[in-house]
Amino acid sequence: MPGPPDRDESDTDAAARHWFALRQGRTISAEERRALADWLAASPDHRAAWARVERDWQSLEHFRGGLSSELIRARRPRPWYCNSSHFKGALAALMLAALPMLYHGWTGNTQTWHTGMGERRHLVLADGSRLSLDTATRTTITESWFRRLIQLQEGEIYLEAASDRRPLVVMAAGAQIRDVGTRFSVRDTAGKLTVQVAEGAVEITHRDHSLLLRGGEAATGHPGDGEWRLTALQGEIANWRQGVLVFDRHALQDVLQELARYHAVQFDLTPPDLAGKQVSGRFQFDELDTTLRIIADTLNLRVERPAPGRFRLAPASAHSRAPLQSCC
């Protein structure tokens, strides 16, 4: 076995170290012994280099470290992962297997939920949060490694947010509602956004303005003007979760609009100035006829049905209050 080339002194020293490590690391073959002898006999410089290596091996610690690494390489076979083709192939296979998980973790898992007219839905999210959807509501929920996002397209939601390191944000009508550990509702109907906080706090950000709402407070705004009207809550929020609607001195027109969200009906007021009459009470929203009878009795009105799916409310006659009159 021929020895390494010896073009200059540094190459000669390297060759000497190579031969020395090879002989110290294992029993060399007869062919290797002859090659070493031939290399030593070829030049006085080779023998001088060999002597320096032997001297250095005994006296200089930093040469010992270098030679020890040579011994390890001489004694042990190369591990499988030093084979670049095997290692690169295994790494590529691992990356291909991990890519779907990394992609979904980064972008998040998205689900869309909706309810029809008069329908409610109650969900438990992956983080333990409880989400309720009111009638005619559409929302998209995205949960990733970094955030929890609920996008409300229309309708109303009620949320009991679970504690989590990731921020929870509701997007509605161009506004961002960030949870600060709370129970709250968000409603986007008829171009009006309403946020009510039962417990904790939320931060509303719209354009360049921010507003902090605490428990017992509500805010109503129109996405176009960026102005918010703050009010104090009266009682529990999102009573529709129990199938009831609660009104406290609400205008009759607003009450009828709310009823129309749960039923495919239209209401007419004759004369129109009846719209300002106030209504208070607790009503089952799936009992439309009963609710209208109670309102008519309270406000001294009569209720007529001029056509299917259409109701007309008008002042009752001086002698009677016909609660529900069918069309011909």
| Block residue for tokens 């986007």 | 188
Q: What is the pLDDT of residues 175-197, one digit of tens each?
A: 999 998 789 999 998 888 999 99
Which pLDDT score is estimated for 98?
59
Taking residues 281-298, what's their average pLDDT? 94
Average pLDDT over residues 97-126: 79
pLDDT at 37: 73
Q: What is the pLDDT of residue 8?
A: 46
More confidently predicted of 235 and 288: 288
> Residue 64: pLDDT above 60?
no
pLDDT score recorded for residue 199: 93
Instruction: Give 248-263 pLDDT, tens digit per residue.
Output: 999 999 999 999 999 9
In this prediction, residue 5 carries a pLDDT of 44
Q: What is the pLDDT of residue 328?
A: 39
| 216 φ/ψ sector (left φ>0, alpha ψ -120 to 50, else beta) | left
What gap in Å lies between CA 130 and CA 294, rounded to an integer? Answer: 34
pLDDT for 222 equals: 81
**Position 221 pLDDT exceeds 70:** yes
The DSSP annotation for 240-289 comes to GGGTEEEEEEEEHHHHHHHHHHHSS-EEEESSGGGGG-EEEEEEETT-HH
Q: How does DSSP classify residue 301?
A: E
Q: What is the pLDDT of residue 3?
A: 47
pLDDT on residue 248: 92
Tell me, what's the pLDDT at 109?
Answer: 82
Q: Residue 304 above 70 pLDDT?
A: yes
pLDDT for 59 equals 59
Taking a C-beta distance cutoff of 8 angstroms, is the pair 229, 220 a contact?
A: yes
Neighbours of 266 (CB within 10 A): 12
Placement of tokens 């190459």 in the chain: 11
Chain segment 120-164, per-residue pLDDT in tens? 999 999 889 999 999 999 999 998 888 899 999 999 999 999 988
- pLDDT of 276 > 50? The answer is yes
Band (pLDDT 50/70/90 cuts) for residue 233 is very high
pTM, two decimal places: 0.64
Backbone angles phi, psi at 230, to 5 degrees: -95, 135
Q: What percent of the chain has pLDDT over 70?
A: 75
Confidence at residue 132, expressed as pLDDT on a 0 to 100 scale = 97
Q: pLDDT band at residue 114, thresholds of 50, 70 and 90?
A: very high
